[in-house]
Amino acid sequence: MWGSIYNSQNFSKWKELKKGDILLFYHNKKYITSAILEGTEHNPELADYLWGKKDESGKMFELIVFMPPSSVFNEDVN
């Protein structure tokens, strides 16, 4: 499970995701993980329960994506 903050840029990309898409996770100038998307959910209550508020502005990682553990790959991400 992963989440993004709700804003127009993130939402416009998140809403186009569909089951089976390959997700790439980028950190420190390199791709560190890939995963196959199982589903999405816009759920502020779940985000607050899982991660709380990001900062004092009240933003949360409410644009949620789901990936089964068997579809997450941490090695050989080119």
pLDDT tens column, 38-51: 999 999 999 999 99
Given a cut of 70, is residue 56 above it in pLDDT? yes
DSSP state of 2: E
User: What integer pLDDT is reported at residue 2 of this predicted model?
Assistant: 93
Q: How far is residue 61's CA from residue 78's CA, in Å, rounded to a whole number?
A: 26
What confidence category does residue 57 fall into, taking pLDDT thresholds of 50, 70 and 90? confident
What confidence category does residue 58 fall into, taking pLDDT thresholds of 50, 70 and 90? confident
User: What integer pLDDT is reported at residue 74 of this predicted model?
Assistant: 84
Angle among Cα 25, 16, 48 to the nearest 5 degrees reads 65
Q: What is the b/e burial string over 9-18, where b = at least 16 CB atoms within 10 angstroms of the residue's CB?
A: eeeeebeeee
